[in-house]
Amino acid sequence: MSDVEQDKLAKLEAILYAYGRPISLSELCAHLKLNSEQEVSILLNRLIEDYEKDGSALEIRELPEGRVVLQLKAEYSNQVRRIASKSSLTTGPLRTLSFISYNQPIEQKKIVEARGSLAYKHLKLLYEMGLISKQKKGRTVIITTTPEFSDYLGLSKDRSSMKRQLQRIFKALELKQMENKQ
């Protein structure tokens, strides 16, 4: 492998690591200053092979809509769960996000009624992170989650499937809290 190719692979890996969430091939192409998404795909495949060959705890996952993410393999998540939070969100914004995902599409005022006035700050943060979208409908703002939200938490993009997944997660958390109280 040439030094130029090795440099491109290193830059690609650095971008994936620093981005920390799914990124599109077109964005990677722009960051790497390459001419085509096909060239990015070739580099990605080589990097994927390197991770597999080295037996790394990290993997590059290809997602729908031409996006990829560098992440920890699922089999290692339990080992690091206590020392590394999957979410960079604090409890308040995470609860607001949970409320939105479970009740979406939902009016912003209903979120604020349920979560309190701090919800405005939570909504701003979640919007900046690309986890929610806002749509003006007359005087009302309708809030929904984005595909990035699904990727961020590893949930289905289909809303009804997502709701079932969230119900299972919430039920498991509830049971765990009950066990901890006893």
47-89 confidence digits (pLDDT tens): 999 999 988 989 998 887 788 989 888 787 767 765 654 456 7
Q: Which residue has the higher pLDDT, 152 or 106?
A: 106
The domain locations on the chain are: 3-80, 91-181
Domains 3-80 and 91-181 share a fold: yes
Give the mean model confidence (pLDDT) for residues 3-10: 89
Second-level CATH architecture of 91-181: Orthogonal Bundle (1.10)
Q: How confident is the model at residue 151 (pLDDT cuts 50, 70, 90)?
A: confident
Q: Rounded distance, CA 89 to CA 108, Å?
A: 20
Is it the case that residue 178 has pLDDT exceeding 90? no
Three-state DSSP at 137 gives strand
At 87-146, the pLDDT tens digits run 567 778 888 988 998 898 999 999 999 999 999 999 999 998 888 999 999 999 999 998
Give the mean model confidence (pLDDT) for residues 22-27: 90
First-to-final CA distance of the chain: 59
Select from 3.90.1150.10, 1.10.10.10, 3.40.50.300, 3.40.50.2000 the CATH code of 3-80. Answer: 1.10.10.10
> Whole-model pTM?
0.50
Count of beta carbons in the 10 Å neighbourhood of residue 182: 4
Count of beta carbons in the 10 Å neighbourhood of residue 133: 17
